[in-house]
Amino acid sequence: MTEPRTSALSKRVLDEYAAVRDTLPAGVVSAERRQEAIQSVAAHGLPSSREENWRYSNLRPLERARFAPAGEPLAAGVSPAPGAAAVAGAAATTRSLPSPSELPAKLERFARYTFVDGVFAPELSSPTQGQAGLTVHSLRRATQGAGGRSVSKTVFQLPRTLPALRHLPEARLALLNEAFATDTAAIHVEDAAGEPVRVEVLFIAIAGAETGTSYPRVQVSLDPGSRLIMVERHIGASGGASFINSSVTVDVGRGAHLTHYRLQQAGARATWLDTLSAVLAADARYGLLTVNIGGLSARSTTHVQMAGPGAELTLSVAALGDRQQVQDNFALVEHIAPRARTEQTFRGITSGRARVGFNGKIVVRKAAAGTDSRQSLRGLLAGPEAEIDVRPQLEIYTDDVRCSHGATAGKLDDDMLFYLLSRGLSPEVAQRLLKWAFLEDVVSKIQLPELRRQIEHDLAGQMADAASLKELL
């Protein structure tokens, strides 16, 4: 089955892995697990756009990618010391850390953990003490020189998501991340009464693709009954051409609540790949809201397993594509246990020559009686050369389910546009206003006013039609 081109790529992945494996931190992922992962990738090959669930992705950058980790940038103002940037065999560079003022404003009452090119950057982090029940570790740092013994055992528990992840053909990129991982933000919440704990993980990609890949990695687990609000943000140097392959695993225990905001704002020329895999126990609640703005070629894979009865998932995605961007999203929700509920909302806008895709698949297994799932997927074409693909899929293996879906893809409403023009608004303002209104179904779900303002600001910036167009051409 494997075609020559793919196998050549697989071979290169193996070679690159072999060259750097001894430098990869075993405290982050053990050598055995890395080996397993890389073999699995080699056996199955990397995804190709000939595959059904990848057909809207732009995977060409994979062919040119350097898979070895980009490595650690230097602290600002520090001159390169021998071996300082040599983690994972990356070429020595003069990359330096951004100053804290260049980062997005810190959210009040949130602990912030910042990772640069996939490696924890304590200088740019501000862990908040005193959030009861919350433990956050950089696995790389926590295990350095201690052989892993200094970190509490819970951090190393293999999240239950991982076995599921390994069996999903869409998770091959996450396996690649596992093989090359340079660090992990390991977040654990113990049962704690009162206010939910709050964490922001901020990933910054600085290295260019020629230096290597950036591997953001997050592992979240919530004990039964615990509550966490997590903000996961990915940013890049403006115009940066990084190659990013992110992996997030989420384990929401019985009756626990996780509110998870994700903002993908990679650099304008970056390749962005990400895999999120989550498992929900009984009566767990998971609110996942993703805003995809950045990158030139972006592909986001989400896999959520409704493993416990009565689990609830709200999955909301807003994606904006402009210029030559490709924003592809695949979201698979698997109902295994009975009486779980899913609400999926997608709003995507394309303009310029961009392509945005959302493939929302819901599978209801035999034991999942009483499943209630709703999908509302809408795409807006805001330019004659733009493309949008919105696709709901349902696979149901039991009776007694309520599944509804609505999917539309269309242009800006002419009547709405004319109404605004007839009130004196310029066509540019009118269009922007209507695009804005279109995203409202997702944006209005952001419960944190401060974050909502930031995201609205970022969305507005993205829509302020292409001041940076020249920079790209």
Partner 1 sequence: MLKIDNLHVKVDGKEILKGLTLDVPTGEVHAVMGPNGSGKSTLANVLAGRPGYEITAGSVTYQGRDLLALAPEERAREGVFLGFQYPVEIPGVNNVYLLKAAVNAARKHRGLEEVDAFEFLTLVKEKMRLMRMEESMLTRGVNEGFSGGEKKRNEVLQMLVLEPRLTILDETDSGLDIDALKIVANGVNTLRSPERSLVLVTHYQRLLDYIVPDHVHVLVKGRIARSGDKSLALELERRGYDWVTGEAA
Q: Is 422 in the site for partner 1 (CB under 8 A)?
A: yes
Q: Which is nearer to partner 1, 156 or 436 (CB)?
A: 436
Exactly one of 86, 403, 420, 472 binds partner 1 (CB under 8 A); that residue is 420
Residue 380, CA atoms < 13 Å, CB-side half-sphere: 21
Q: Which is nearer to partner 1, 333 or 380 (CB)?
A: 380
Q: Single out the segment in contact with partner 1 by CB under 8 A; choices: 19-27, 69-77, 246-254, 439-447.
A: 439-447
Amino acid, res. 263? L
Exactly one of 231, 434, 451, 459 binds partner 1 (CB under 8 A); that residue is 434
Q: By rule CB under 8 A, what count of residues binds partner 1?
A: 24
Give the shortest CB-391-to-partner 1 separation in angstroms: 24
Q: Is 52 in the site for partner 1 (CB under 8 A)?
A: no
- Cα–Cα distance measured from residue 185 to residue 248, given in angstroms and rounded to the nearest whole number: 9
Exactly one of 102, 123, 195, 419 binds partner 1 (CB under 8 A); that residue is 419
Q: Which is nearer to partner 1, 239 or 427 (CB)?
A: 427
Give the shortest CB-423-to-partner 1 separation in angstroms: 4
Q: Is 427 in the site for partner 1 (CB under 8 A)?
A: yes
Q: Which residues face 346 on adjacent strands? A: 317, 377
Exactly one of 418, 457, 461, 471 binds partner 1 (CB under 8 A); that residue is 418
Exactly one of 421, 445, 456, 466 binds partner 1 (CB under 8 A); that residue is 421
- 130: buried, middle or exposed (CB in 10 Å: 19+, 13-18, 0-12)? exposed
Q: Single out the segment in contact with partner 1 by CB under 8 A; choices: 11-19, 137-145, 433-441, 456-464.
A: 433-441
- Cα–Cα distance measured from residue 283 to residue 384, given in angstroms and rounded to the nearest whole number: 45
> Is the CB of residue 368 less than 8 Å from the CB of residue 337?
yes
Q: Single out the segment in contact with partner 1 by CB under 8 A; choices: 80-88, 121-129, 192-200, 421-429.
A: 421-429
Give the shortest CB-57-to-partner 1 separation in angstroms: 29
- Cα–Cα distance measured from residue 418 to residue 425, given in angstroms and rounded to the nearest whole number: 10
Q: Is 91 in the site for partner 1 (CB under 8 A)?
A: no
Give the shortest CB-101-to-partner 1 separation in angstroms: 30
Exactly one of 103, 374, 436, 450 binds partner 1 (CB under 8 A); that residue is 436
The gap between the terminal CA atoms of the chain, to the nearest Å, is: 38
DSSP characters over 410-428? EE--HHHHHHHHTTT--HH
Q: Which residues face 203 on adjacent strands? A: 115, 234
DSSP state at residue 102? G
- Cα–Cα distance measured from residue 263 to residue 265, given in angstroms and rounded to the nearest whole number: 6
Q: Is 426 in the site for partner 1 (CB under 8 A)?
A: yes
- Cα–Cα distance measured from residue 165 to residue 235, given in angstroms and rounded to the nearest whole number: 25
> Is the CB of residue 293 less than 8 Å from the CB of residue 462?
yes
* Residues at the contact surface with partner 1, assessed by CB under 8 A: 413-416, 418-427, 429-430, 433-434, 436-441
